[in-house]
A and B are shown apart, each in its own frame.
Chain A
Amino acid sequence: MSGQTIQHAATIDTPADVKRVLVVDDDPTILELVRHALGRLDRYEVITAVNGADGLQSYFSALPDCVIVDVGMPVMDGFQFVRALRGHSVSANTPIIVLSALTDDNHQTTGALSGVDEYVAKPFKMSVLCAALERALQITPEDRERRIQELAEGSDGE
């Protein structure tokens, strides 16, 4: 595990109206772009990690309000990272957005089945990512549980 990227400890409080967002991507350009763009909005505090394993370390150190994660990464890919979060009661209800160049239907379906709330295609517009972030933050644990049960039953529609 790289150990890089934990830039805010969980003991550092953020104002109630500021959401802490963990961005996990092995592309430093994407990390900087998202950090810069969200940071300008004054309502997000951004922390970053470079792969899924590093992301888990950052998640449990900083306990973010939301996660944005790439799919194709070394050590632990994005879908494994998502399943690791969804499989533990501490992290099971965190809003999760996938930001990926893998945009075919099967990848998106695998994302949904893994527990992803929103899927944003690369290349992306910041306005699209921000809209997905706002939607994901509005999802309640009950909404998520309902969707998981529907997906498990295969009743998620055509």
Chain B
Amino acid sequence: MVGERLNDEASQDAALSVLVVDGNPASRERVREALGAQCVVRFAAGVRDALTALHTQPPDLLVSEVDLTDGSGLALCVEIRATPKLKRLPIMLLTDRASINDKVAGFQAGADDYVVKPLDARLFHARVRLLDRIKRLEKHDLLGA
């Protein structure tokens, strides 16, 4: 099976900064517990808070619900992809929405990954790490290194 180790992973072990966008306090707490001490987790309750946080201090990776109090996680994805300094930000949608159309719409809006709740803590943590590796690999390719 494939699985060649990346060459540019010197910072792999550094704490990953993750911005979590979710209006539900219980969901936010589950994400915090799942990511544990290996990630620096910040929260935003909605689209507006998220955009402010993204422009002030861009994270390494964004996790967002689709249904947000002041808009849609899909609109947030589109906005991020249209912003030059954020367009390569890894985005995972973590949502209750499980329909096929929702999944397709999520990827078409610019999400890199789509995870359906309820959250399996171990698997979720692993998928955040995997997405970080995938995006590092893409960046490595783009830089032609």
A154 within 8 Å of B (CB atoms):
yes
Q: Mark A124-135, 1 if CB is under 8 A from B, else 0.
A: 000000000000
Once the chains bind, are B1 and A148 in contact (CB under 8 Å)?
no
Q: How many residues of A contact B (CB 8 A)?
A: 42
State the CA gap A113–B59 with chains docked (Å): 21
Q: Given A84-B107, A110-B134, are A147 and B114 also a contact pair (CB < 8 Å)? A: no
A sample of 13 cross-chain residue pairs with beta-carbon separation below 8 angstroms, ordered by A number, consists of: A75-B108, A80-B107, A87-B115, A88-B116, A89-B120, A106-B140, A110-B134, A110-B138, A113-B130, A113-B134, A152-B126, A152-B130, A154-B9
List the one stretch of A25-33, A38-46, A53-61 in contact with chain B.
A53-61
Chain B: minimal CB distance from A59 (Å)? 8
Once the chains bind, are B2 and A112 in contact (CB under 8 Å)?
yes
Given contacts A151-B3, A158-B5, 9 further A-B contacts (CB under 8 A): A53-B100, A76-B104, A83-B113, A87-B114, A88-B98, A109-B2, A115-B130, A148-B127, A152-B129
* A residues adjacent to B (C-beta < 8 A): 1, 52-53, 56-57, 60, 75-76, 80, 83-84, 86-89, 92, 105-106, 108-119, 145, 147-154, 156-158
Once the chains bind, are B125 and A110 in contact (CB under 8 Å)?
no
Q: Chain B residue with minimal CB distance to A57? A: B100
- What's the dominant secondary structure at chain B's contact region? helix
Most buried by A among B12, B113, B120: B113
Once the chains bind, are B134 and A117 in contact (CB under 8 Å)?
no
Once the chains bind, are B100 and A56 in contact (CB under 8 Å)?
yes
Closest 5 CB pairs of A and B: A152-B129, A152-B126, A108-B2, A156-B3, A87-B115
Most buried by A among B2, B114, B137: B2
Q: Mark B1-40, 1 if CB is under 8 A from A, else 0.
A: 1111110010010000000000000000000000000000
Q: Chain A residue with minimal CB distance to B2? A: A108
State the CA gap A1–B103 with chains docked (Å): 13
Once the chains bind, are A110 and B137 in contact (CB under 8 Å)?
yes
State the CA gap A56–B114 with chains docked (Å): 13
Chain A residues whose CB sits within 8 angstroms of the CB of B112 once the complex forms: 83
Chain A residues whose CB sits within 8 angstroms of the CB of B114 once the complex forms: 83-84, 87
Once the chains bind, are A109 and B3 in contact (CB under 8 Å)?
yes
Chain B: minimal CB distance from A61 (Å)? 9
Q: Chain A residue with minimal CB distance to B103? A: A84
Once the chains bind, are A53 and B104 in contact (CB under 8 Å)?
yes
Chain A residues whose CB sits within 8 angstroms of the CB of B103 once the complex forms: 56, 84, 88
Which among B104, B134, B140 is the interface contact of A114 at CB below 8 angstroms? B134
Chain B residues whose CB sits within 8 angstroms of the CB of A115 once the complex forms: 130
Q: Chain B residue with minimal CB distance to A117? A: B1
Once the chains bind, are B6 and A109 in contact (CB under 8 Å)?
yes
